[in-house]
Amino acid sequence: MKVTRRDLLVWSAGAAAGLMVTPVPWKLLDDISIWSQNWGWIPQPSHGPVDVKQSFCTLCPRGCGIKVRMAGGWPVGIAGSATHPVNRGALCPLAFGAHQLNWDPKRLRAVRHHGNPASWEDARAAFAKCCNEGPVVIVDGHPGRAASVVLEKFAVNRGGQYRVVDSTETDALRPYEKWSGVPASELGYDLENAQTIVSFGTPLLDGWGIPGQFTRLWAEQAAGQNDPQLRLIQVESELSRTAARAWQWVPIHAGAESALASGIARVLLEEKLVAARGPVPLMTLAEVAIQTGLSPDAIRDLTRSIMAQRPVVAVANDADPAIAALNVLLGAVGAPGGIVRRSKSSTLQVVADSVIPNARAVLLDSTVPWDFVPKTDAEVFRFAAWDAGLSKADWLLPAPGFLEDLTDIPSAPSLPVDTYAVAPNLVRAPHPVQNAAQFLASVNSSLPTVEQIIHARCDNLFRSRAGRLSGLQPTPVTSFASCQKLEEELRNGGVWMAEPLTESFRCELKQWPDPFVSSRPEGWSTSWTSGVLPPLASKLYQESNLRDARERRNA
C-alpha cells in the first residue's frame, strides 16, 4: 500500500486527537507524580497546624522584617512584615524563597578538610592546635551582632585580631571615619530630610539600602512631579532604572564619578557657593571635562542646580573619597539631611581587605561573603551553610541555614537611627551544624553565649528607658514593666528604635583626596553573600528582566 504525505499528516492529527482523549498519558503523569512523592530524598511538605511567625531576614545586614508561614513547624512561605518600621512589608527577591535555601543541593552537610570528609572533632583539634601555635584572625561579615562580640573576644583573648567585611553602604561611609574619628558603623544617611540627593551611580531606586525605604520616600515626595520637594540627580554612565526615574540624569563617562565630584567641588569654591573653605581639588575644570565628557559650562550648570534646593547630600556606591570630600564641602556631614551619627556605642573596626600578616589561622564567619578570599597564607577555617564551590578554605564547617540560628539584628548600615531586633531560630537544621560562636566557645569555655549577650543587651535597653518598640502601636520603652516583657516583645518580632541623635560632629578635610578607582563588583544580587540563590530569585528574577542586570544594560 502506498502511504502519501497527506496520509501521514492525517494519521498524526488523528493520533494527537486520540492522545488528548485517551486517559493513558494523564494516568501516566498521575502515576509519576505519586512515585516521585514517595522518593525519600525529596523534601516533603509538612502536614500540621499552619502558623505565622514574625521574624527577620538574616541573609544580609539589612535585617528586613518578615512574616514566616509555618506548616507543621517548618517554614513554607515568606512575606514582608508590614509592621517593620523600615521595610514596612517590602522585601528583596532573595528573601521570598529563602526558606527553600535550606534544601539547596549545595547545602554543606558535613565538615570537609581539603575537600575530604572530616569530623567536628578533627576541625576543633586542628583549630585548637593553630591557636596554641600563633595568632588567630577572625573575620565577620555582619558586625555588631551578639555573635560578633564572641568572635571579637576570642580573637583579642588569643592576641589575634578581629576584622570585618564591609557592606556596600558601610564601605561608602569609611572616608568620613578617617576624617572625623567617628566609626563608619555609627554613621547613616538622613535622606528623609534631604532636598537634593546627588547619587553617583548608586542604585537608589533599584535595591540600594533597605527594600522599600527609598522608593517609598521617592513615591511620597517626588515621583511624577516636575518640581519635586526631593530632587534626585543621578550621575551615571548608563540609563539605569534609577537614572530613568530620577529628576535629572547626568550621563558621564564610565568611571569618571571621582573626577566629576572634584569638578563640582572646584566650582563650589570658585563661585563661593558654599560657606566653608576647603582644599581645592588639583584637577582643573578642563581636565574634569575631558574625563567626564561634560563641558565646563555643563559642570557649572550642574553645580548651580545642585545648590538650588538644600540640604544636599551626595551618595556614593563605594568608598570614593572625592564624593565624601564633596559632602564635607557641602556641609552635609554631621548635619540634618546628610551623613549623620546614629549611635555612640561602637569602636573603630579593622577592615578585612588588607593583607593578614603573621597569622597562624584565619576563621571566616558564615556571614562573610562566599567570594571573599583572605590575603593570607595561614590555615583558613570557613563556616558556611552552602558550599558554592571554588573555595580556597582549608576547612569547610557547616553552619546553620536560614532561620536555623538565634541571632540579633543591629542597625542596618544606611539607617540614620539605631535599631535593634532579635531573630529566633524557628527551625532545626537537618544535620549537625555549629555557628562560629559555638565553635569558639568549645575551644574557650569562658566566652559568653549569644543567648547571654542578647539578654544583656535587652537588659541595657530596658534600663536606658530610651526609644520605643515599633509594631502596630509603637510602645515607649518606659511603658514596659520588666526587661523580661521587653525581651519577649523583641523575640516576637518587635523592633526597638532609638530617638535620632541631634548633635553634630566635626569632619575635617586637610587635602583633596587622590583619584580613586572602584573595585566593587556591582550586581543586583551583590548583597547576597552566600554564593547560592533561592530558586525563585535565580529563575524568575534573573530571567524575567524584573531588574536590569548590568550585563543586560550593556548588551
Residues across the chain: 555
Residue 385 engages ligand SF4 in binding (rule: CB under 6 A): no
CA-based nearest residue to 399, from 421, 373, 379, 425: 425
Nearby residues of 242 by Cβ (< 8 Å), 6 or more positions away: 199, 202, 203, 204, 205, 206, 232, 234, 236
Helix axes 450-464, 483-491, angle to 10 degrees: 120
Residue 367 engages ligand SF4 in binding (rule: CB under 6 A): no
CA-based nearest residue to 530, from 380, 384, 409: 384
- The 8-class DSSP code of residue 23 comes to S
- The 8-class DSSP code of residue 123 comes to H
Minimum distance from residue 472 beta carbon to ligand SF4 (Å): 21
Residue 97 engages ligand SF4 in binding (rule: CB under 6 A): no
Nearby residues of 5 by Cβ (< 8 Å), 6 or more positions away: none
Which of 62, 163, 231, 360 binds ligand SF4 (CB under 6 A)? It is 62
Which of 68, 70, 86, 95 binds ligand SF4 (CB under 6 A)? It is 95
Which of 54, 55, 63, 402 binds ligand SF4 (CB under 6 A)? It is 63
Minimum distance from residue 135 beta carbon to ligand SF4 (Å): 33
- The 8-class DSSP code of residue 538 comes to I
Q: Which is nearer to ligand SF4, 78 or 264 (CB)?
A: 78
Minimum distance from residue 92 beta carbon to ligand SF4 (Å): 3
Is residue 406 within 8 Å of 443, Cβ to Cβ? no
Q: Which is nearer to ligand SF4, 287 or 522 (CB)?
A: 522
CA-based nearest residue to 507, from 184, 197, 262: 184
Residue 60 engages ligand SF4 in binding (rule: CB under 6 A): yes
Which part of the chain contacts ligand SF4 (CB under 6 A), choosing from 42-50, 57-65, 173-181, 264-272? 57-65
Residue 64 engages ligand SF4 in binding (rule: CB under 6 A): yes
Total residues contacting ligand SF4 (rule CB under 6 A)? 12
CA-based nearest residue to 351, from 400, 324, 383, 318: 318
Nearby residues of 11 by Cβ (< 8 Å), 6 or more positions away: none
Residues 210-229 that bind ligand SF4 (CB under 6 A): 211
Residue 493 engages ligand SF4 in binding (rule: CB under 6 A): no
Which of 57, 147, 204, 361 binds ligand SF4 (CB under 6 A)? It is 57
C-alpha cell at 301: 550648570
Residue 59 engages ligand SF4 in binding (rule: CB under 6 A): yes
Minimum distance from residue 552 beta carbon to ligand SF4 (Å): 21
**Residue type present at position 211:** P
Residue 94 engages ligand SF4 in binding (rule: CB under 6 A): yes
Residues 507-536 that bind ligand SF4 (CB under 6 A): 527
Q: Kindly list the residues in this chain that would bind ligand SF4 in the complex (CB under 6 A).
A: 57, 59-60, 62-64, 91-92, 94-95, 211, 527
